Amino acid sequence: MEDLNKYIRDLRHDFSQMQLNEEDMSHDPSLQFEKWFAQAVKSAVNEPNACVLSTATKEGKPSGRVVLFREFKDNQFGLFTNYNSRKGKELQENPFACLTFFWPELERQIRIEGLVEKSTQEASDKYFYSRPRTSRIGAWSSPQSNILKNREELEHLVTGFDKRYPDEDVPRPEFWGGYLLKVNYYEFWQGRPSRLHDRISYTLQEEGTWKIERLAP
């Protein structure tokens, strides 16, 4: 590509599929999320439960990565990971986080913010034991976010834990489990022509109700 920056500057896509009006929004953002998620599944969006999890250190240095959320109930998103990973360490220092969904097939984005806490051991066990054996072995084998000498080092760890737990009875590591993001803010974004997008936000109030507002694109 001769001029990457020119190519990037010239990229244009006008969003025109749908619009988003306040009167069409549910009073409960969890119901609105469920509606949009169901439409994403129906539209065969690739990995509809994939989202960017953004965290920050106690000094405010941010980082983000794509994760798969595995539970949603009562305005709480559940995900599972290695507690010793970079995101785990940052959530220990600073429990505020953000999830961002982008479904280009529907020209939609959802931003979700809230406070994160660890799931119960029972919830972590329930999900861990629902995973295939190979995934459970993988949880033991990966010192997530640590530096490896090479791929062979990781494969050696997998081989070792595969021998250590030769049957289906692979226990959950203490360093692996769930988090719950308890939502206090949603933003639903619908792409519109000329970059004049629709943005509707829900902000949790002290009395437990949600304030619904339109934001400038």
Structure tokens, 69:
């959320």
Which pTM does this prediction carry?
0.90
Q: Are 49 and 73 in contact (CB under 8 A)?
A: no
Number of domains in the chain: 2
| Shared-domain flag, residues 101 and 34 | yes
Kindly report, residue by residue over 114-147, the tens digit of the pLDDT: 999 999 999 999 999 999 999 999 999 999 999 9
| Shared-domain flag, residues 115 and 40 | yes
Sheet strands (E) in the chain: 50-56, 62-68, 71-73, 76-82, 96-103, 108-118, 176-190, 198-204, 210-215
Residues marked active site are found at 195
| Shared-domain flag, residues 122 and 137 | no
| Shared-domain flag, residues 70 and 112 | yes
- The per-residue pLDDT for 14 is 67
The residue segments making up the domain with residue 85 are 14-129+174-215
User: Which parts of the chain sit beneath pLDDT 70?
Assistant: 1, 7-8, 10-12, 14-15
| Shared-domain flag, residues 84 and 160 | no
Beta pairing partners, 111: 100, 187
Phi-psi region of 167 (alpha: psi -120 to 50; beta: other; left: phi over 0): beta
Structure tokens, 102:
């982008």
Residue 79, burial from CB neighbour count under 10 angstroms (0-12, 13-18, 19+) = buried
| Shared-domain flag, residues 107 and 123 | yes
| Shared-domain flag, residues 141 and 114 | no
